Amino acid sequence: MTQSLADRRSGDERRRRTLFAYVYGGHRPRRLNGRREIDLIYPFIDWHSPRVLALALGILALCVADGVLTVVLITHGATEENPFMALLVPHNLGLFAAVKLTLTAASLFVIVACSRMRLLRRIPGESIMYVVLAGYAFLITYELDLLRMLPDVW
């Protein structure tokens, strides 16, 4: 039976990736909700709310601000407390920035993909993004407070 199915295919891919397909899919997504009963707990969907995009962009913007403030503080005598990132800071600032953004973006990719899931079947996955955003906001506030205390920065 699988042999007959394979014979019917021409080998040419009938679907094409065009800009129209991306625009059309962005305005009329096919999978807004899960299709099966298990999807009520672990849904993977094609469309996410604009709120998730705003959260992801906010987290990335605060990540960039954290990186810039970290470099400024280190040039004024502070030390990087993250042992992994501390290996990168004194040697290559470009690599530091690339690794920091790549790790944050990869983590955000996973969090956004799981944003409709429920952690421990109770906590919405999207709430993790709010916690991360609040954590970054607290960190930026702390770093700005440290900068304010330095006499030669302002």
pLDDT digits (tens, 9 = 90+) for 39-72: 555 555 556 778 888 999 999 999 999 999 988 8
Please indicate, yes or no, if residue 10 is contained in any of the structural domains. Answer: no
pTM for the complete prediction? 0.69
Q: Which of 39, 80, 62, 79 is nearest to 132 (CA)?
A: 62
Instruction: Supply the range of the domain harboring residue 133.
Output: 48-149
Domains contained in the chain, number: 1
Please indicate, yes or no, if residue 40 is contained in any of the structural domains. Answer: no
Please indicate, yes or no, if residue 12 is contained in any of the structural domains. Answer: no
Please indicate, yes or no, if residue 100 is contained in any of the structural domains. Answer: yes
Rounded to whole angstroms, the Cα distance separating 49 from 70 reads: 32
Please indicate, yes or no, if residue 17 is contained in any of the structural domains. Answer: no
Compute the C-alpha angle 30/33/36, nearest 5°.
105
Please indicate, yes or no, if residue 145 is contained in any of the structural domains. Answer: yes
What is the percentage of the chain residues whose pLDDT exceeds 70?
A: 65
pLDDT digits (tens, 9 = 90+) for 76-103: 888 888 888 888 877 788 888 889 899 9
Please indicate, yes or no, if residue 4 is contained in any of the structural domains. Answer: no
Please indicate, yes or no, if residue 126 is contained in any of the structural domains. Answer: yes
Rounded to whole angstroms, the Cα distance separating 39 from 145 reads: 45
